[in-house]
């Protein structure tokens, strides 16, 4: 039985048999029965199985869609592009330097084209409808926009800066650092310094930093991505799929490299608390700065 078939069967057992697998005991080999019991699917939302690829047209960052379009001829690309909602159409067109077909397509045709184009993406083994994922404290992140996740990542990087700042004695360098931060980020960094969390992580290296605020922002953003990736270790791969596809391909792939299917003892729990603390600070609709 394929992994997806097991998931579907578990979903129907949750829906119609209250999650009990007893009625399958005489029908399935013992190994498959044990695998079903170990499967983390608590949802009974069978309607989620009817989702179609076109529904991902606005959920997925356009940088993941561009490679799918590039497999087609320029004329076909224009036709597919015209099937997208306005925002995605404009972003994809700008990225690929193409214009949508001027032909006005009826809704059923747009859905057909998007289903055809996005099928390879949604057929990936870790692509599971959000509604079927088990809920935990981190799943609210799936409703965050890319902009909100970017802000979360930026703020997570401040934990590294807060730790580093404890040991910087050069007052000029400290002043330059604070000049690069907004008042809200300075306030949050000072909050971070109040926590005494012992983590075995590489230190933020600012020895070669020349005072360029853009470069500091890049360094902190990478550190924030690393913290988020390690905080997600042990989470469902399907949750990681959705988070990485809200982000662009560059950040998504970095996040994926930081992720491990097993939780890191003495590291992941602490980082999860930092993520939750930062989520609560920013709230689901992150403020613009």
pLDDT tens digit sequence for 114-138: 999 999 998 887 888 887 787 889 9
CA-nearest of 175, 178, 50 to 115 is: 50
**Structure confidence by residue, pLDDT tens digits, 250-282:** 999 999 999 999 999 999 999 999 999 999 999
Place of tokens 């909602």: 85
In percent, the amount of the chain with pLDDT more than 70 equals: 92
For range 98-115, the mean pLDDT: 92
CA-nearest of 261, 9, 234, 238 to 122 is: 238
Average pLDDT of every residue of the chain: 89
Helices H / strands E in the chain, number of each: 13, 0
Dist. CA 119–CA 276, nearest whole Å: 34
The reported pLDDT for the residue numbered 143 is 93
Residue 199 has pLDDT above 80, yes or no: no
The model carries a pTM of 0.84
Backbone angles phi, psi at 148, to 5 degrees: -70, -40
Helix ranges (H only) for 83-233 are 86-96, 107-122, 146-165, 171-179, 183-192, 213-231
User: Domain segments of the chain: what residues?
Assistant: 3-50, 53-122, 139-282
For 97, 112, 157, 255, the CA distances from 250, given in Å and listed in that order, are 20, 29, 17, 9
Provide DSSP, 1-16: --HHHHHHHHHHHHHH
């Amino acid at each position: 039985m394929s992994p997806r078939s097991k998931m579907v069967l578990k979903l129907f057992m949750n829906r119609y048999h209250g999650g009990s697998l007893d009625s399958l005991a005489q029908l399935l080999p013992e190994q498959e029965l044990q695998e079903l019991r170990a499967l983390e699917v608590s949802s009974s939302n069978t309607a989620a199985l009817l989702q179609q690829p076109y529904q991902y047209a606005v959920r997925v960052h356009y940088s993941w869609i561009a490679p799918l379009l590039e497999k087609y001829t320029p004329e076909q690309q224009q036709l597919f592009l015209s099937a997208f909602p306005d925002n995605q159409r404009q972003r994809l067109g700008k990225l690929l330097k193409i214009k949508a077909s001027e032909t006005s397509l009826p809704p059923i045709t747009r859905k057909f084209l998007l289903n055809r184009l996005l099928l390879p993406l949604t057929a990936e083994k870790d692509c599971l409808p959000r509604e079927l994922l088990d809920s935990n404290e981190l799943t609210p992140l799936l409703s965050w926009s890319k902009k909100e996740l970017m802000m979360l990542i930026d703020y997570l990087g401040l934990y590294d800066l807060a730790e580093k700042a404890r040991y910087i004695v050069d007052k000029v360098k400290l002043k330059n650092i604070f000049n690069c931060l907004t008042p809200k980020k300075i306030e949050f960094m000072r909050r971070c310094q109040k926590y005494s969390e012992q983590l075995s992580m590489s230190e933020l290296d600012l020895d070669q930093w020349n005072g360029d605020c853009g470069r500091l922002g890049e360094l902190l953003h990478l550190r924030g991505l690393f913290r988020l990736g390690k905080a997600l270790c042990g989470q469902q791969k399907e949750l990681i799929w959705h988070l990485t596809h809200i982000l662009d391909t560059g950040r998504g792939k970095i996040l994926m490299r930081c992720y491990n299917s097993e939780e890191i003892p003495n590291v992941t729990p602490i980082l999860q608390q930092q993520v939750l603390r930062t989520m609560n600070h920013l709230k689901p609709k992150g403020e613009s700065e």
